[in-house]
Amino acid sequence: KAGVTQTPRYLIKTRGQQVTLSCSPISGHRSVSWYQQTPGQGLQFLFEYFSETQRNKGNFPGRFSGRQFSNSRSEMNVSTLELGDSALYLCASSLVLGSVTDTQYFGPGTRLTVL
Amino acid sequence: AQKVTQAQTEISVVEKEDVTLDCVYETRDTTYYLFWYKQPPSGELVFLIRRNSFDEQNEISGRYSWNFQKSTSSFNFTITASQVVDSAVYFCALNPHNQGGKLIFGQGTELSVKP
């Protein structure tokens, strides 16, 4: 069974640009969460999607947005990139929403560098 | 406030030594879940254990063991007879009640096991 896949794995952008990251959950999983990992702030929750609806959101500015498609695949978008957006973006999938009783499986992440 | 503290930033041990990674959490919820994840250099977070707030039983899985003490709000992780392959960053995380699958992570402890 394939794991969580994230594309692209590496990305270099310049300030002011926008970027879209993609996450394909494990087959059959319907919940997708996104996290940002930086050396300074550590791992921080961005948002969680289930059945194409955002169910939970972290404390990030509106430049960070996401969506989920009917096949459970998810994308996140960051507009007007800032240097501080350079980070590893991790996606996690699980079978159901609020998956505390269900393991969240993480993908390998997308390394975004903003110049 | 809900928070997870991993006071040990880096730990270095020699192979076959036992090592304990500390985790202290803060929450006012009576229902919550605690997790440990391992992050090898590849970047992917690997699930190790989940514990709910009503289950204080310690758990052992091979060389890994976990000690959950609600009285001190701690959920410590011990690796017995450490191996080079245990070298990674380890994260403790808290899932607050009624916040879906949102995980609040500690800053992580980087474990280096030398041969």
Contact predicate B79/B64, CB 8 Å = yes
Judge: A94–B44 Cβ closer than 8 Å, yes or no: no
Classify strands B19-21 and B104-105 as parallel, antiparallel or unpaired. Answer: unpaired
Look at A42 and B44 and tell me if their CB atoms are within 8 Å: no
| DSSP-derived secondary structure letter, A2 | -
Nearest alpha carbon to residue A74 among A19, A28, A27, A34: A34
Residue B46: how many other CB atoms lie within 10 Å: 14
* Cα radius of gyration (chain B): 14
Closest residue, chain B, to A88 (C-alpha): B43
The band of B5, judged by pLDDT with boundaries at 50, 70 and 90, is: very high
B interface with A, Cβ–Cβ below 8 Å: 33, 37, 42-47, 50, 52, 91, 93, 95, 99-108
Compute the nearest-CA separation of A113 from chain B (Å). 15
Which of A56, A100, A106 is opposite residue B45, by nearest beta carbon?
A106
Contact list in B for residue A48 (CB cut-off 8 A) is 100-102
Q: Which of residues 32-71 of A touch B (CB under 8 A)?
A: 33, 35, 42-45, 48, 50, 55-56, 58
Distance CA(A103)–CA(B3), nearest Å, equals 21
Cβ contact B101–A106 (<8 Å): no
Q: What is the mean pLDDT of residues A84-89?
A: 97
Q: Tell me the pLDDT band of A1, cut-offs 50, 70 and 90.
A: low
**Site of tokens 């980070």:** A87
Whether residue A104 lies within 8 A of chain B, CB to CB, comes out as yes
The count of CB pairs under 8 A between chains A and B is 66
- For residues A12-30, average pLDDT: 96
Q: What is the mean pLDDT of residues A39-51?
A: 93
Of A104 and A96, the one with more pLDDT: A104
Q: What is the pLDDT of residue B104?
A: 94
Residues of chain A with pLDDT > 70: what percent?
94
pLDDT in tens, B30-72: 889 999 999 998 888 999 998 889 888 888 889 999 999 999 9
pLDDT over 90 (residue B27): yes
What is the SS3 assignment for A89? Answer: strand
pLDDT at A100 over 60: no
C-beta atoms of A108 and B44 within 8 A = yes
Q: Which of A5, A32, A43 to mutate to test the interface with B (most CBs of B within 10 A)?
A: A43
Strands A87-94 and A105-106 come out as antiparallel
Say yes or no for a CB contact (<8 Å) between B102 and A33.
yes
pLDDT of B105 reads: 96
